Amino acid sequence: GAVVSQHPSWVICKSGTSVKIECRSLDFQATTMFWYRQFPKQSLMLMATSNEGSKATYEQGVEKDKFLINHASLTLSTLTVTSAHPEDSSFYICSARDGLAVRGTQYFGPGTRLTVL
Amino acid sequence: GENVEQHPSTLSVQEGDSAVIKCTYSDSASNYFPWYKQELGKGPQLIIDIRSNVGEKKDQRIAVTLNKTAKHFSLHITETQPEDSAVYFCAASPEAGTALIFGKGTTLSVSS
């Protein structure tokens, strides 16, 4: 079955530093990838949608200059949290759409736990 | 925009019993309704989905029903087992592969 990986699985950083999270589709071409954020015991909130080769579309209230998304290839999207602060601590989850599948099913990665000290 | 309500927030059942989780949505343009199971510290796993041209879909112990007129859909798990314990999320979107709007989740606990 289709597999989406994320790296790293967890990261701890100091306030003010930037953190990059990678999302890869391992055995399919992901024309579209989505980034979600999940706070403890809460639901997944869509942050942005990225299409390969174009700029990401951000949801209302998500700062595009703080959460930089790059989708440079059909198998890789990155989310960079710039100048991270403790309130950015969360579980970040990506998902990828199989661009060649008729059903266009969306597959989720295992998530990245970010802790900002 | 779309809004998805999910109930109950917690559900405790005995092993072997059935569990039902219900969701309602607001946007009549939504046509794709997946259900995800999330275990602690992991990403969501798709367990079943349904499209608006179908009223019911079943996969072994899991079934989903959709009432598009009333804008609600439900997840049914029969013969529950302890390994079914997890957080379950419903979601809605205009079509498969587009951005999902999630419900707030249901924590299911199955005791043996």
Residues in chain A with CB shorter than 8 Å from the CB of B23 are none
Give the residue on B whose Cα is nearest the Cα of A60.
B1
- Measured between CA atoms, the residue of chain A closest to residue B4 is A43
What is the reported pLDDT for A49? Answer: 94
Q: What is the pLDDT of residue B54?
A: 86
Please report the pLDDT score of residue A103 as a whole number.
66
Contacts of A97 in chain B (CB under 8 A): 97
For residue B3, which amino acid is it?
N
Q: How far apart are CA A72 and CA A92, in angstroms?
A: 19
Give yes or no for B73 touching A (CB within 8 A): no
Q: How far is A75 from chain B (nearest CA, A)?
A: 16
Across the interface, whether the CB atoms of A105 and B45 are under 8 A apart is answered no
Per-residue DSSP letters for chain B? ---EEEE-SEEEEETT--EEEEEEE--TT--EEEEEEE-TTS--EEEEEEETT-SEEEETTEEEEEETTTTEEEEEE-S--GGG-EEEEEEEBSSTTSPPEE---EEEEEE-
CA distance B4 to B26: 7
Mean pLDDT, consecutive 10-residue stretches, chain B (112 aa), reads 94 98 96 95 93 92 96 97 97 89 96 94
- Inter-chain CB proximity A106 and B97 less than 8 Å: yes
End-to-end CA distance of chain A: 37
CB contact under 8 A, A46 and B105: no
Out of B41, B96, B102, the one facing A104 most closely (by C-beta) is B96
Distance to chain A for B102, nearest Cα, Å: 6
Instruction: State residue B90's pLDDT score.
Output: 97
Residue segments in chain A with a per-residue pLDDT below the cut of 70? 1, 101-104
Look up residue A74 and give its two tokens: 């059909």
The pLDDT tens digits of the residues spanning B78-102 come to 999 999 999 999 999 998 888 899 9
